[in-house]
Amino acid sequence: MKYVIVGNGVASVGAIEGIRRVDPDGEIMVISEENTPTYGRPLISYLLAGKIGPERMQLRPVTFY
């Protein structure tokens, strides 16, 4: 089966994980204007304040995709 997911937010990660549970061999295409992996948007203020580093922002590793 082939899947298309529009957007690359937290809901997209959940959708990808759900698809992988029931169809581990399916082809998944994610369409997004962002060229970075999903990140924790609520953490942006902590990043800008220097309380966390950019490595803490990523919700899943690049290999997730």
Domain boundaries, given as residue ranges, for the chain: 2-64
The residue whose two tokens read 């997911």 is 5
Q: Which pLDDT score is estimated for 48?
A: 97
Token pair belonging to 60: 């899943």
Q: Which pLDDT score is estimated for 62?
A: 84
Rounded (to 5) percent helix, strand, coil in the chain: 40, 20, 40
Under CATH, which architecture does the 2-64 domain have?
3-Layer(bba) Sandwich (3.50)
Alpha carbons 37 and 21: distance in angstroms, whole number: 20
**Residue 36 φ then ψ, to 5°:** -120, 155
Q: Which pLDDT score is estimated for 2?
A: 98
Alpha carbons 31 and 5: distance in angstroms, whole number: 6
Secondary element (H or E) of residue 27? strand 27-31
Q: Which pLDDT score is estimated for 34?
A: 86
Q: From first to last of its 65 residues, what are the pLDDT tens digits of the chain?
A: 999 999 999 999 999 999 999 999 999 999 999 888 889 889 999 999 999 999 899 999 888 88
